[in-house]
């Protein structure tokens, strides 16, 4: 008699962004006249840059002609893209990462959630709190997190590293020793970053205790300050303790295009087992490559025109971030993030919980944000706004919140 994976049944409620989507849809249906502004999900709004559009059209044309048609892509990605990544994202920053250590995929969400598969089920994970829910949920589904305590909203076998105003939203080395450490900088949801010297401490710690850092650098394009690392491989010793996950979603607006990559250095091991061949085996067995035309779009991100156009796109969103940050600050809110990241993290006013503030903003001013508590217990009392809206909507949303005058 067939049985379901009972770990799935342990998951409390639905995926955060699905819940938000449902709430907003229901409110919109009940209030068709409301002009809802979405600053919740970290989804981009600017069209793809001209150089990317042009690369897509060329690749589509190639697929329509026998001589240039491409079938299955190489398991790990096309050389042209892996070379462009290695050169621009790594060697240009002095990081020793070669093209054959890069695994191209259809996005960082898939990689973040799949990467745990190559590790033992009895490995213990550590996550920041608040945290991007996918890290925890994918481990719950695999059966690695123990039992859920609905009161504390925590899992018995997960090590939580609180990130609050008290520690500048930077996690501290945990008391219990983890095997897998999820870090994300610039951080989603708090928008916080850590300096290179702080990241070096994590690398040294991981090497010392034999842990692996799963480093999510999806937002690195938003870094504006000079001593904030763009890659964990800027730190000495990271090749023996770190996997880096990257996305094209936020630096190039690929949320609906789907492209990302994971870096696994060849000398990275779990005990005696090299991890590069394990991830290669997973790609070869359970994945069939990102579409050719999308990989060509990824290549265009690194062209001189692409770089220039995307710099302007990132600047557009960061101008939104500045508007939100300064607007809410001037209105008396306690805000952080927004300087090296497209996320603004604010304290909810008065004694409001995160979800109360979510409902308030949705119902009173028709603005959608993300409740901080959806990212973990230490997110309670906080709220995330994203800078990925249009400038006009961002201004309108901030002005509405200010007018609401809570």
User: What residues from 296 to 355 belong to the interface with a copy of itself (CB under 8 A)?
Assistant: none
Distance in Å, CB of 361 to a copy of itself, minimum: 21
User: Which residue, 119 or 382, is less far from a copy of itself as judged by CB?
Assistant: 119
Candidate residues 29, 33, 64, 350; the one interacting with a copy of itself per rule CB under 8 A? 64
Sign of CA dihedral 106, 110, 114, 115: positive
Candidate residues 20, 180, 300, 324; the one interacting with a copy of itself per rule CB under 8 A? 180
Place of tokens 């049944």: 9
Closest CA relative to residue 379, chosen from 162, 186, 187: 162
Distance in Å, CB of 267 to a copy of itself, minimum: 14
Q: Give residues 21-60 in contact with a copy of itself (rule: CB under 8 A).
A: 41, 43-48, 50, 53, 56-57, 60
114 touches a copy of itself by CB under 8 A? yes
Candidate residues 282, 307, 329, 402; the one interacting with a copy of itself per rule CB under 8 A? 282
Please, what's the b/e burial string for 351-378 (b: 16 or more CB within 10 A of its CB; e: otherwise)?
A: ebebbebbebbbeebbbbbbbbbbbbbb
Concatenated DSSP letters for 11-52?
S-SS-HHHHHHHHHHHHHHH-TT---EE-SS----SPPPHHH
Candidate residues 63, 331, 404, 406; the one interacting with a copy of itself per rule CB under 8 A? 63
Q: Which helix (H) or strand (E) holds 226?
A: none
User: Which residue, 25 or 364, is less far from a copy of itself as judged by CB?
Assistant: 25
176 touches a copy of itself by CB under 8 A? no
Closest CA relative to residue 359, chosen from 23, 113, 18: 23
Distance in Å, CB of 336 to a copy of itself, minimum: 25
Q: Give residues 65-84 in contact with a copy of itself (rule: CB under 8 A).
A: 65-66, 69-73, 75
Q: Give residues 201-240 in contact with a copy of itself (rule: CB under 8 A).
A: 209-212
Closest CA relative to residue 360, chosen from 383, 389, 390: 383
Give residue 278's Cα distance to chain centre: 23
SS3 163: coil
Contacting range for a copy of itself; rule: CB under 8 A; set: 218-226, 267-275, 327-335, 345-353: 267-275
How many chain residues are in contact with a copy of itself, going by CB under 8 A?
84
Distance in Å, CB of 403 to a copy of itself, minimum: 27
63's CB contacts (< 8 A; 6+ apart) are 69, 70, 292, 293
Q: For residue 102, what are its two tokens?
A: 């890069």
Give residue 323's Cα distance to chain centre: 22
User: Within 13 Å and on the Cβ side, how many CA atoms surround 380?
Assistant: 7
Pattern 116-155, binding to a copy of itself, x per CB under 8 A? -xxxxxxx---------xx--xx--x--------------
Distance in Å, CB of 176 to a copy of itself, minimum: 13
173 touches a copy of itself by CB under 8 A? no
Distances (CA, A) of 162 to 118, 150, 378: 26, 18, 6
Contacting range for a copy of itself; rule: CB under 8 A; set: 216-224, 254-262, 334-342, 398-406: 254-262
Candidate residues 5, 88, 167, 330; the one interacting with a copy of itself per rule CB under 8 A? 5
Q: For residue 113, what are its two tokens?
A: 């959630």
């Amino acid at each position: 008699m067939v049985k379901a994976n009972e770990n799935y049944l342990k998951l409390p409620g639905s995926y955060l962004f699905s819940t938000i989507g449902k709430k907003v849809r229901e409110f919109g249906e009940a209030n068709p006249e409301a002009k809802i502004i979405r600053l919740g999900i970290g989804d981009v709004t600017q069209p793809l840059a001209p150089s990317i559009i042009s690369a897509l059209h060329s690749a589509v044309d190639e697929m329509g002609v026998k001589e240039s048609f491409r079938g299955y892509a190489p398991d790990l990605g096309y050389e042209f893209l892996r070379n462009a990544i290695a050169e621009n994202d790594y060697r240009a920053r002095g990081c020793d990462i070669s093209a054959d250590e890069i695994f191209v995929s259809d996005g960082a969400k898939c990689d973040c959630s799949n990467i745990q598969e190559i590790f033992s089920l009895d490995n213990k994970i550590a996550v920041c709190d608040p945290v991007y829910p996918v890290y925890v949920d994918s481990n719950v589904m695999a059966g690695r997190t123990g039992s859920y305590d609905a009161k504390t909203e925590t899992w018995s076998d997960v090590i939580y590293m609180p990130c609050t105003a008290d520690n500048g939203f930077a996690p501290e080395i945990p008391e219990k020793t983890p095997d897998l450490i999820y870090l994300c900088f610039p951080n989603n949801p708090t928008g916080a970053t850590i300096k290179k010297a702080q990241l070096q401490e994590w690398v040294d710690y991981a090497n010392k205790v034999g842990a692996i850092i799963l480093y999510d650098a999806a937002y690195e394009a938003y870094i504006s300050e000079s001593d904030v690392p763009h890659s964990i491989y800027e730190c000495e010793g990271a090749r023996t303790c770190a996997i880096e996950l990257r996305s094209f979603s936020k630096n190039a607006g690929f949320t609906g295009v789907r492209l990302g990559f994971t870096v696994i250095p060849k000398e990275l091991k779990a005990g005696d087992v090299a991890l590069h061949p394990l991830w290669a085996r997973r790609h070869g067995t359970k994945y069939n490559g990102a579409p050719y035309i999308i990989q060509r779009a990824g290549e265009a991100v690194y062209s001189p025109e692409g770089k220039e156009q995307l710099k302007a796109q990132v600047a557009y969103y960061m101008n939104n971030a500045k508007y939100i940050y300064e607007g809410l600050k001037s209105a008396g809110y306690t805000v952080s993030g927004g300087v090296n990241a497209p996320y603004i993290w604010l304290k909810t006013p008065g004694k409001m919980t995160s979800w109360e503030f979510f409902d308030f903003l949705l119902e009173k001013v028709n603005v959608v944000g993300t409740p901080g508590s959806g990212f973990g217990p230490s997110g309670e009392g906080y709220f995330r706004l994203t800078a990925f809206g249009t400038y006009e909507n961002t201004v309108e949303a901030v002005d509405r919140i200010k007018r609401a005058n809570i």
